[in-house]
């Protein structure tokens, strides 16, 4: 399963700057030799003041440009590891969704052939509930539960994978767990 490249059309729509203009601006500013942080800093200087969440869009521009010049492949994080996510929506409030999630995974001895490297952790805020786990293969998972109307969105974010194939394996595993969770 392929991981999608950054959506340069969405960047152009949000910023009002076409992707080829972003490329020219970044190239002229020396972005090809910059770190990700420096590149995002350069990008933010070109984002119009009217754009909402300019820092997020600057990060998006930097990632897309890194993919464009071959410095990063889709799904690759700044540290060279890979990440991906799967999600679903359930008919439950935040607390009920988290309780159901914990009940679904608490007795598992292994996850995708791996053990927990430490006990899973839960936390929350006014708008979110979280479940975090670290696994023996070095990967991590964070379940983000947020309201989506009267329902809850449950997104499982996989990080620190060594390859896109490992992300794919984890995504397949988490889809099966989501199916059990919703069942």
Give the model confidence (pLDDT) of 62-86 as tens digits.
999 999 999 988 888 888 899 999 9
CA-wise closest residue to 97 among 172, 181, 16, 19: 181
- Decide if 88 contacts 178 (C-beta within 8 A): yes
pLDDT tier, 183 (very low <50, low <70, confident <90, very high otherwise): confident
pLDDT tier, 29 (very low <50, low <70, confident <90, very high otherwise): very high
Q: Is the pLDDT of residue 4 over 90?
A: no
* Residue 146 Cα distances to 131, 133, 155, angstroms: 12, 18, 9
What local confidence, expressed as pLDDT, does residue 143 receive?
98
What local confidence, expressed as pLDDT, does residue 156 receive?
97
CA-wise closest residue to 129 among 81, 96, 85: 96
Residue appearing with tokens 């003041």: 49
What is the pTM assigned to this prediction? Answer: 0.75
What sign does the dihedral 90-171-162-72 (CA atoms) show? negative
How far apart, in whole angstroms, are the C-alpha atoms of residue 114 and residue 53?
38
Residue appearing with tokens 């805020």: 125
Percent over 90 (pLDDT), the chain: 89
Q: Is the pLDDT of residue 49 over 80?
A: yes
CA-wise closest residue to 6 among 77, 78, 60: 60
How far apart, in whole angstroms, are the C-alpha atoms of residue 147 and residue 144?
10
Q: Is the pLDDT of residue 95 over 70?
A: yes
* Chain segment 167-177, per-residue pLDDT in tens: 999 999 999 99
pLDDT tier, 3 (very low <50, low <70, confident <90, very high otherwise): low
* Chain segment 108-127, per-residue pLDDT in tens: 999 999 999 999 999 999 99
Task: For the chain, give the number of residues.
Answer: 183
Q: In the structure encoding, which two tokens stand for residue 154, read together? A: 């449950």
What local confidence, expressed as pLDDT, does residue 78 receive?
85
What local confidence, expressed as pLDDT, does residue 75 receive?
83
* DSSP H helices in the chain: 8-15, 19-28, 36-44, 54-68, 94-105, 164-182
Q: Is the pLDDT of residue 53 over 60?
A: yes
Residue appearing with tokens 């070095």: 138
Q: In the structure encoding, which two tokens stand for residue 161, read together? A: 């994978």
Q: In the structure encoding, which two tokens stand for residue 129, read together? A: 């509930």
Count CB atoms within 10 A of the CB of residue 94.
17
Q: Is the pLDDT of residue 1 over 80?
A: no
């Amino acid at each position: 399963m392929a991981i999608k490249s950054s959506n340069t059309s969405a960047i152009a729509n949000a910023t009002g700057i076409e992707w080829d203009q972003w490329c020219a601006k970044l190239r002229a500013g020396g972005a090809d030799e910059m770190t990700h942080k420096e590149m995002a800093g350069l990008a933010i200087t070109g984002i119009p003041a009217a754009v909402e969440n300019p820092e997020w869009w600057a990060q998006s521009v930097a990632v897309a440009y890194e993919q464009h010049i071959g410095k990063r492949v889709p799904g690759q994080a700044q540290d060279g590891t890979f990440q991906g996510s799967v999600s679903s929506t359930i008919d439950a409030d935040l607390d009920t969704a988290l309780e159901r999630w914990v009940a679904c995974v608490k007795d598992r001895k292994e996850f995708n052939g791996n053990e927990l490297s430490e006990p899973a952790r839960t936390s929350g805020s006014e708008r979110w509930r979280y479940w975090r786990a670290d696994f023996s293969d070095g990967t991590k998972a964070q379940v983000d539960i947020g309201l989506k109307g009267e329902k809850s969105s449950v997104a499982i974010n996989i990080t620190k994978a060594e390859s896109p194939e490992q992300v794919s394996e984890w995504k397949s595993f988490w889809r099966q767990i989501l199916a059990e969770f919703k069942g």
